[in-house]
Structure 1
Amino acid sequence: MTVFDELAETDGDNKFKAWLSKQEIVAFVSSRRQGKPAGEFDGYLKGSFNLSLVVTFSNRGPKAVIRFPKPGRTATAFRDEKGTTKDSPQHLSPFIIMDYVDGISLATILKQPTETEQDKVILATDTKLDYVYEQLANYMLQLSRLDFSTIRAISKILNYPISRYPTALFTSARAFLHPLANKYLLYLRTQRNIANNREDAKKRFIARHRFKQLISRYCLDNTGSFKLYCNDLQPLNMLVHPDTLRITAVLDFEFTNTMLA
């Protein structure tokens, strides 16, 4: 497992704490609502890379959520994709304003009790899983029916030489896997704290080179079709009604891409 960059995390935390004091956000959201009703702060929704503020309105209309990428946690290149900084309150950050969807995290509903919130989620094994799995299977079936002829290349990445990355669309599995192998080697050379010690670095070096060697031997130069893939499709990013267990929202599709089937 790649070691997390603690220096970058500490710097991000400091930027985030200094940024939290912006109180004009509620008034800004109210100004974007039809009729401009008075707004009131109703709580934070915190993610690993985003912060959302829930706003209620005096006219009892639907709640709203304004979502920002956390300063110091999200690369500027990716933050700029979320919205327009110049239109946000005090040019604060790119933003998205959305309707608030009621529900609680599916992970909270399904997990067995743990001592701390940081513990690994272990799903319960009672009959309520059947209805949840039925819904998830339906979503996965719908996604599986989408076919794509290409895989998109990386367009932006922080602190890495972007000139070393391909920009054209990939039309075959082999064309995708070779740049992927080169990317892993580039990470090994440039990412801070990627290894715990000399022996760990050696193992990572060997594994990456062997992965690259295996592509030509075992990968057919097929041309798709490719499937939609989201590496964050998990119970933690799904909201459900606490009584019926009906899924009310699926979150964090922002880095979804087409991938090998």
Structure 2
Amino acid sequence: MDFDSLAKQQSDRIFQVWVQNLLGNSPEELAGKLAARHCPGTPATASLLSNGAFNICYRVTYENGLRVVVRFAALGRAVARKEKVNNEVAIMQYLTQHTTIPVPKVLGSGKCAVGPYVVMSYVEGDPLSRYLRDPSQHAVKLSSNISAQVLRKAYFVMSELLLELSKPEFLFIGAFGQDESGKWTVQKRPLTFNMNRLAQFSNIPHSVFEQGRFDNAADYFEELARQHFYHLELQRNDAITDEADCRRKYIARCLFRKLSREISREHCSGPFRLYCDDLHPDNVLVHASRLNVTGVVDWEFAYAAPVEFTLTAPWWLLLERPEDWEPDLDQFLSRFMPRFHTFLEVLKDCETRKMADGSLLLSQRLSMAMEKSLETGLFWICLASRNSSIFYGPFTTIEDRFGLLSAEERMNLDAVVENKIQQASEASLVSHYSIDELTNL
């Protein structure tokens, strides 16, 4: 399902105004002042770094050679900016204390003239994806000529990170922080990559998403299914092409909700595991010579999640994001499965080594569950749960699928279709927040 073109234009306008505001505040000078606020010393220079999808970053170099990063959460790209920054600060501090994953050290955070920011240590290294991607392609794709040695080394690096990330266990699903005693607890809802995209590109108000943490996986999967409905029902433009398309998309969501209610039986009550929506080779920094990890960045969409997310095959094995995969599953699987088999071999080797040195328990292995996830379809269900614009698989006649809906779902269909046709004819965009409200989210 496409995103709302008018919402995207609005997002771009807001971002451009925010960038101009940032530039008007002399960003190099501002970055230096913020760095000095949280890290003693005298900043000498500040330079723009390559930016991710949700932030603009400056590297500040001190007179004594120390380098730090000042990262501004970009308005128009990140919607709930305070929540995003607070979550990322918390997860990086937690990972530093409780795992061996190398992450930037948080030196401080706060709010300035252009919004929330974080000051953190600068990590040397190149993105791991740089050594895997096809340089002849504009889009990020795994090189078809990559050497087996480089691919296996990269997959080993990622296997170590996945295994380490999966070890901590939590009683609830959501984002976490420290209570008054300093104990780490899950305290609030998870902020996900998909929630940000729906708010940014579909103009869905952030207030519709569940606000609290989740006690069990069944409730969380129900919330994810609701987000699929929000995408269809609340996105006013480019959601459907015609009445028949609307019926197909509504029925697909009803059936997906029914399917998602059957997902989490064995692990419904947890304990839950850490998961990062945006963990992939582009966010893993390595030394060029041996591809050793120097740091892992961009943790804003990490949270305690259903165990099923951890137990499914990684989506990033071809580097491409799921929305860029070809819709023909046979075509996709012909590319994906050979890489998946290589990854499984590497993951099993990584697990064997870690069990031998005592850093991994037999019960903490992931390879067997990941291998089954494609056979059982859990891979596709979890992938679709986290990406409300993605549906794969053949769709038979509407009549065949309509009969599988509940009486209430069948009764609601005509009203949904009528509403979507009306929205499409209006070609308008509803403003849910003023600029002042957006800047304070």
> Which amino acid is 1:112 matched to?
D
Asked if residue 78 in structure 1 is aligned to residue 85 in structure 2, the reply is: no
1:62-211 equivalences in 2 (<5 Å) = 62-75=66-79, 77-79=80-82, 81-82=84-85, 83-85=109-111, 88=112, 91-116=113-138, 119-123=139-143, 124-152=146-174, 154=189, 159-160=204-205, 162=207, 164-193=208-237, 195-198=239-242, 199-211=244-256
Structure 1, gaps ≥5 residues long? none
User: How big is each residue's C-alpha offset from its partner over 1:118-168, in whole Å with a ceiling of 9 and x where there is no partner?
Assistant: x13214233122322222212211222222222126377754263x54444
CA contact (8 A) 1:15 1:72 kept: no
Task: Give the secondary-structure state (helix, strand or coil) at the position aligned to 1:65.
Answer: strand
Q: For residues 215 and 155 of structure 1, what CA distance do their matches in structure 2 show?
A: 18
- 1:56: which partner in 2? 61
Distance 1:29 1:168, change over 3 A: closer
Residue 295 of structure 2: SS of its match in structure 1?
Answer: strand
Is the deviation greater in 3-12 or in 175-184?
A: 3-12
Aligned residues between the structures: 252
Cα gap change, 1:183 to 1:38, in 2 (>3 Å): closer
- Say whether 1:252 aligns with 2:298: yes
Find the residue that maps to 1:41 and give its secondary structure: strand
Q: Tell me by how many angstroms 1:40 deviates.
A: 0.7
Greater per-residue helix proportion: 2
Cα distance, 1:213 vs structure 2: 2.4
2:165 match: secondary structure: helix
Is 1:238 the counterpart of 2:284? The answer is: yes
- Distance change in 2, residues 1:194/1:182 (3 Å): farther
Q: Is the 8 A contact 2:276 2:302 kept in 1?
A: yes
Conserved 8 A contact 1:132-1:246: no
Runs of 4+ in 1 over 6 A off after TM superposition: none
Alpha carbons 1:39, 1:56 under 8 Å: kept: yes
One-letter amino acid matched to 1:93: G
TM-align CA RMSD:
2.7
Aligned equivalents of 2:152, 2:211: Cα separation in 1: 43
- 1:42 correspondence with 2:47: yes
SS in 2 for 1:127: helix
Q: Which amino acid aligns with 1:3?
A: F
- For residue 116 of structure 2, give the secondary structure of its aligned residue in structure 1: coil
Return closer, same or farther for 1:17/1:171 CA change in 2, 3 Å cut-off.
Answer: closer
Checking the alignment, whether the CA contact within 8 Å between 1:39 and 1:55 is kept in structure 2 is yes
Paired residue type of 1:95: Y
Q: Would the alpha carbon gap of residues 94 and 167 (structure 1) be closer, same or farther in structure 2, given more than 3 Å must change?
A: closer
Question: For each residue in 1:157-196, what CA deviation from the matched residue of structure 2 results, as whole angstroms up to 9, or x when unmatched?
Answer: 754263x544443233322222222222122211243525
* Counterparts in 2 of 1:219 and 1:145: CA distance versus 1, 3 Å: closer
Could you state the TM-score of these two structures normalised by the residue count of structure 1? 0.83
Higher mean C-alpha deviation, range 192-201 or range 182-191: 192-201
Pick closer, same or farther for the CA change 1:229–1:47 going to 2, 3 Å: same
Q: Alpha-carbon deviation of 1:25?
A: 1.5
Q: 1:32 is matched with which residue?
A: 37
